[in-house]
Amino acid sequence: MIFWHTGVTAALILVTLGVRRIDYRVVLLGAILPDLIDKPIGRILFEAQFQTGRLFGHTLLFVIVLLLGIQLTLRGETARRWFILPIAALIHLALDGVWSDPVTLFWPLFSTSFPTDPIGTYWLEAVLRALTDLRVMGMELVGLALLAFMWKVFGLQDRSLRRDFIRKGRLSQRRRPEATSVNYKGSRPGGRGLQDSSGETGDTSQAEEGPGSTGQDAG
């Protein structure tokens, strides 16, 4: 369930950690990382041996090793960019409900083998399930709606903001132009008339008469 994982994970990270110093490209990667590791291994390359799509990537040990690897090998800006990866992967495990399968979650504490889930043609079953299972369809629609909401809120339909996200993973709201405020400086000794918010002096011909003024033009 790609949209379910990416949409909910991105929304949770946004609500809890905001947008500052968060690379949301890494968030989206971490949201599906366990499946990117386990599905090819357990359902394609070694399906006869494992017969499951929840292997090493769906274990707590994987998240811990990933976290330690980032903290011990990366520094500076690179470390700040990738620190969110194991957090997003952990959210994936929570959304999958892996806590209900302690043998997988705490592998290899209870067993060195993973519980099997034999399916005749997995990829065909996965597609049919996504199209016919109302629960799966609902979850995918929720995730897609969250992604669409974030796309709209952060203005990713704008080419420049979308390019910034692709290059840096940054989410930044479009700023509305600020209205120019005008401060009226009444006529007084040394007064400079009208000033706008930038400090520029405007026309002083309409300024009020100050003390000592004759009310007549000098000419």
The structural domains of the chain, with segments of one domain joined by +, span 2-168, 176-204
- Enter the tokens of residue 216: 């007549």
> Residue 125: what pLDDT?
73
CA angle 53, 145, 88 (to 5 degrees): 45
Distance, in Å, from the CA atom of 157 to the CA atom of 163, rounded to the nearest integer, reads 10
| Least confident segment among 110-114, 136-140, 186-190, 204-208 | 204-208
The answer on pLDDT for 161 being more than 50 is: yes
- Enter the tokens of residue 215: 């009310």
CA dihedral over 121, 123, 124, 126, signed as positive or negative:
positive
- Enter the tokens of residue 204: 């002083």
pTM attached to this predicted model: 0.75
> Residue 79: what pLDDT?
92
The answer on pLDDT for 195 being more than 90 is: no
Question: What average pLDDT does this structure show over 67-85?
Answer: 94
The answer on pLDDT for 219 being more than 80 is: no
- Enter the tokens of residue 211: 């003390």
Distance, in Å, from the CA atom of 134 to the CA atom of 1, rounded to the nearest integer, reads 13
Number of H helices, E strands in the chain: 10, 2
> Residue 199: what pLDDT?
52
> Residue 134: what pLDDT?
87
The torsion of the CA quartet 156, 8, 120, 114, rounded to 10 degrees, works out to 130
**What type of residue is 131?**
L
Q: What does the pLDDT look like over 95-116, one tens digit per residue?
A: 999 999 999 999 999 999 999 8
> Residue 108: what pLDDT?
94
pLDDT band per the 50, 70, 90 thresholds, residue 60: very high
The answer on pLDDT for 50 being more than 70 is: yes
Question: What average pLDDT does this structure show over 177-188?
Answer: 46
Which has more confidence, 83 or 178? 83
CA angle 64, 122, 32 (to 5 degrees): 30
